[in-house]
Amino acid sequence: MRKKLEKCNIVFTGFMGVGKTTVSAYIANLLNREVIETDQYIVEKANMDIPSIFDKFGENYFRDLESEAVAEISKKRGVIISCGGGAVIRKKNVLELKESGIIIRLTATPNTVLQRVKNSKERPILNGHMNTEFISSLMEKRDSFYSNAADITISTDGKTVDEIAKECIEKSITFIESK
Ligand code: S3P
């Protein structure tokens, strides 16, 4: 079935620090669309920041909130969705996101990721593990989740946000036209 880009959500996935938030905001601005971040959605609903949710209730509870967020956001159409890096671990989330639009996986090398996230305390998964070895090994463990979810994969290393955004839009149009 041929779906037009305007009717699709554009969903960003990929490891922490690959640039989902930045690219989503940039594309939302270019295409004049609303952008919704699953993490932000969770924080507003729970009225608690992500590290506190992990700290008080644990990762599984966070994943449940994340699944709820994905289910609700996926009902929308024509928006840009920026997913937390672990959102595609659950198959149900992937099915709902796929049904809602096109899934773009952004990638970056472990070293690029480290440079982008090393000064942040906002990612409990990386607390105490701020090194390329850990990032590289978690990336490898998650690789199949990202590749199974993705309709399109775009590397962000050494590119400007503008270049990445234009590549996302061009590849999305090609992908949709091939359907
Ligand atoms: C996580 C990624 C984070 C956030 C949470 C868990 C993960 O989002 O959802 O800390 O498991 O990869 P970003 O990918 O936006 O950093």
Q: Is this structure's pTM higher than 0.95?
A: yes
Helix, strand, or coil (residue 152)? strand
H-state helical runs in the chain: 20-31, 38-46, 50-57, 59-73, 91-100, 110-117, 132-149, 161-177
Using the mean position of ligand 1's atoms as its centre, give its distance from the Cα of residue 152 in Å: 20
For residue 179, the model assigns a pLDDT of 81
Using the mean position of ligand 1's atoms as its centre, give its distance from the Cα of residue 85 in Å: 4
Angle at which helices 59-73 and 50-57 pack, to 10 degrees?
130
For residue 115, the model assigns a pLDDT of 96
CB of 101 shorter than 6 A to ligand 1: no
pLDDT digits (tens, 9 = 90+) for 13-71: 999 999 999 999 999 999 999 999 999 999 999 999 999 999 999 999 999 999 999 99
Instruction: Kindly report the three-state secondary structure assignment for every residue of 92-113.
Output: HHHHHHHHHEEEEEEECCHHHH
**Domains of the chain as residue ranges with CATH:** 2-174 (3.40.50.300)
**Sequence letter at residue 47:** N
CB of 124 shorter than 6 A to ligand 1: yes
